Every structure is written in C-alpha cells, then in structure tokens.
Amino acid sequence: MGHCTMPEPPAASPPPSSGCTAEHAAMGHCKSDTPSAEVADPHGSHDNPPGNEAAPAPPRVDAADTIFGADAMRGPRERLYAEHGGGTFSKLMIDEAEWRAGQGSDGYAWDAEAWIGGDIDRLVLKSEGEGAFGGDFEGGEAQALWSHAIGPYFDVQAGVRQDFGPGASPTHAVLGIEGLAPYWFEVEGALFVSHKGDVTARFEASYDQRITQRLIAQPMAEADFAMQNVTETGVGAGLSSIELGLRLRYEFVREFAPYVGVVWERKIGRTARLARRAGEDASRPSFVAGVRFWF
C-alpha cells in the first residue's frame, strides 16, 4: 500500500562444502559439490570398449635397485623367489591301506603315491597292488614318473612302470595326465606301452563329498582298457575291467583318517572269459576297512 519500504533480503550464502574433491568424486568415494560436467576423471574413462590390445607391461620388480643398487638387491631377490614358489617340497600319501572281506579268503590292497619337487616339475612315485591273506599275491605295480605342470590344475606325466607278482611282469613306458577337473573331481588317465608292444590304458576318477568338516564320502571309479589281447596277463581287447567303490572316512586330523566302504570289481568281455577258464570269478564285491594317511 506504499506505507513503508521492505528491506532487501540478504544474499543467500553458499551451502557448506562437503570437502569432496573432484578426484575423490571421480573414483566414486563421495558426491562432489561441483556439477558433474565439471568433474574430470583423473585416470581416464573406466568404460573403455573391449579390444585386442596387448596387456600392459607388468609392474617393475627392481625399483629398489635405484636406491640400493642392482648388486645389493640380487641376493635378496633370489631368496624371495625361492621362498615364494621356487622351493622344493615333498609328500607321501597312502591313499588306501585296507583289508578286504569278500567271498572266499580275505584280502588286502594298497594304493600309495610320493613326490618331491617344486610347483612345476616333480619326481612322482606310485604303487598299488592286492593279494589274499594266507593265499596268493595277485600282483602289483610301481611307477617312476616325471610330472610337469601344464596349467593351474593339471600335470602331464611320463616315465616307466614295472609290474611284479606271479606270472608275467612286463615293463611299460607311461604317458599320462593327472589333475583336478571342474566340480572338484580328481581324475587320472594313463597310456601304457609294454616292452613287447602291448598297449593298455587306465582311467580313474574320485570325488570327496564332505558330509561334515571331518566326515567325508568318497565315490570312485576305475576302468582299464587294452588295444589287443594279452593272454600272458589274462587281459582281453577292449574294456577289460572296471572297479567301483564308495568309502566313508573320518578325519581325526587331515593327515590321518580311518575309513570303511564297499568295492565292486568286474572283469569285462574276453577278460572275464579268460578269468572263468582259470577258475576265477569275473565279479567280486568286497567290504573294505582301512586307513588313509599322509605326511
């Protein structure tokens, strides 16, 4: 109405700064007071399109040379490499040391492996066999192999295998692969060529199913093949035998675990016919009890 004059309102003061710098905002650590168009990514865009460019150069491992000198750092660097992947290690695993109760006399069986070496190359020794208490020794074998890592989970192996026991005891050249397949299956395959030229093969697979942290069920399967008839060892061409098993072990500690289980062995085809002619059973189920330990 013009009775008085209103004073002008004070100028609006700027909002308090959050202390967020443009660099921190670009890395997503906070929200900047600066409009987004003014915030620059100091490291460049993180949305670069995919491509086939070469990988960036690995980081330097000799930065300390500029301070202490290459001669002074050579010794510590060699010790560092030796302690982180360049050492020599060893292990002895008795995977099966068991008593088998089946039709007729009770028997025993073993399966063991030892190795010494590094992460890439190792000397591997393997042995397995079985027999009857108070009866015949059915046979066994020993292998000496050079093992070379071909990836994070698999090793290729080559060497020699010697059979021993009653009857023929041939010597074989060995070429195989061993490792951890997807879904945590332990697998092993090998090709054998005897000194007489006979070619056989073997495939094994097992899986550790943890029921608790200490109680583990381990199903396993093994199949043997032959490219030709080997009459002196009672093996026929083709799939010659299979073995299926299920063992339940309890790990008192990781290094010591007794177990019980069942095993079924079955000879196939001509191998089964040769076994029957020799008065042997082609199929043999067994209850097993034993111990698994390593150090």
Predicted pLDDT at 96? 97
Helix (H) or strand (E) holding 274: helix 269-277
Cβ–Cβ < 8 Å for 96, 114: no
Kind of pairing between the strands at 171-181 and 185-194 = antiparallel
Q: List CB contacts of 151: < 8 A, sequence separation 6 or more.
A: 179
Can you say how many angstroms the Cα of residue 292 is from the centroid of all Cα atoms in its chain? 18
Predicted pLDDT at 37? 45
Q: Could you say which residues of the chain have pLDDT below 70?
A: 1-49, 85
Block residue for tokens 């865009």: 45
What is the C-alpha to C-alpha distance for residues 29 and 39, in angstroms, rounded to an integer?
A: 13
CA nearest to 163, candidates 139, 199, 137: 139
Cβ–Cβ < 8 Å for 102, 286: yes
Predicted pLDDT at 286? 95
Both tokens of 186, joined, read 């332990």
Predicted pLDDT at 100? 95
CA distances from residue 64 to 72, 78, 232, 271 in whole angstroms, order as listed: 9, 14, 67, 67
Both tokens of 17, joined, read 């700064």
Question: Domain-by-domain residue ranges, the chain?
Answer: 150-294
Residues in the chain: 295
CA distances from residue 5 to 143, 150, 264 in whole angstroms, order as listed: 108, 90, 107
Q: What is the pLDDT of residues 231-273, one digit of tens each?
A: 888 899 999 999 999 999 999 999 999 999 999 999 999 999 9
Both tokens of 116, joined, read 């010494």
Predicted pLDDT at 16? 52
User: In the chain, which ranges are E strands?
Assistant: 89-102, 107-117, 121-132, 137-149, 154-164, 171-181, 185-194, 199-207, 209-210, 215-226, 238-250, 256-267, 283-294
Between the two ends of the chain, the Cα-to-Cα distance in Å is 102
CA distances from residue 271 to 196, 239, 267 in whole angstroms, order as listed: 19, 9, 6
Cβ–Cβ < 8 Å for 37, 24: no
DSSP 37: G
What is the C-alpha to C-alpha distance for residues 288 and 97, in angstroms, rounded to an integer?
A: 10
What is the C-alpha to C-alpha distance for residues 173 and 139, in angstroms, rounded to an integer?
A: 18
| CATH C-level class of 150-294 | mainly beta
Predicted pLDDT at 202? 98
What is the C-alpha to C-alpha distance for residues 210 and 200, in angstroms, rounded to an integer?
A: 34
CA nearest to 201, candidates 211, 193, 212, 209: 193
Predicted pLDDT at 40? 47
